[in-house]
Amino acid sequence: MALVTGSPVGNLDLQEDRYLEGAPTLFVQRYEADPLKNPDSDGFYWGMSGTTTYPAYELGCVTDVTFAENVTMNDVLCDNVGVKSTIQQRNYLEFTLTVQSPFPLATTTNILKGGTVTTNGTEGTEKMPLGQINNQLYWMVYAVRVYDESTGDYVVIHLHKCQFVDAWSIATPFGDKWAFSNIKLRAFSDPTKPAAQSFGNIIRADLSVLGT
């Protein structure tokens, strides 16, 4: 955009006239499984490959999805000058969401931090125990949003080592669906991954823009 003040001279980068909308499709898989790209040709660890022991779970009918980070910040305050800098450390990244698909309980138990579900094929029942929280369970998170179906352009957020944290609540309104809200997937730094992507990575694929 032409500015009466004049644009910056020299090397200038502009952002693209493309926008993302809607929530990503969210998948989780036990941290013990390897990501599909482990790593890819550029050294990035991402993607999921479900196995019998460690299936990939899709979180059904999600809403109110936000992705945020938590940092510790401390100002460098010099009494004779004022704040000269701010020291920052990334603590974690976090998805917050609401899930509206309650079944199967074998998937929901992961979200609600329940125990191992027992399915009785003869009775036709699923039984989900709610006991103490297992703090040793970690998950990979794979969040995908295809922003151009015709060309297959997409954005992926991959987080290596996450836990379901915080207290959930289930709204049970009359005449409306149940909603499992305040579901938080908190991603920690994974020391087994390269330092530059220890929390995860964001990957964009768009051949028409980025291809050669």
Closer by beta carbon to another protein, 85 or else 119: 119
CB 108 within 8 A of CB 13: no
Letters for 59-78 (x = contact with another protein by CB under 8 A, - = none) are: -xxx----------------
Closer by beta carbon to another protein, 39 or else 104: 104
Residue 34 touches another protein, criterion: CB under 8 A? no
Choices 7-15, 40-48, 53-61, 164-172; region in contact with another protein by CB under 8 A: 53-61
Q: What is the DSSP string of 101-154?
A: ----HHHHHHHTT----EEETTTTEEE----S--TT--EEEEEEEEEETTTTEE
190-196 own/partner pairs: CB under 8 Å, 24+ apart: 190/160, 190/161, 192/160, 193/45, 193/160, 194/43, 194/45
Token pair for 163: 């836990």
**# residues near another protein by CB under 8 A:** 23
For another protein, which residue of 5, 15, 52, 208 counts as binding (CB under 8 A)? Answer: 52
> Least distance from C-beta 181 to another protein, angstroms?
17
CB 202 within 8 A of CB 155: yes
Instruction: Give, as ranges, the residues between 162 and 181 that touch another protein (CB under 8 A).
Output: none
Positions in the binding site for another protein (CB under 8 A): 25, 51-55, 57-58, 60-62, 101, 104, 106-107, 116-122, 126
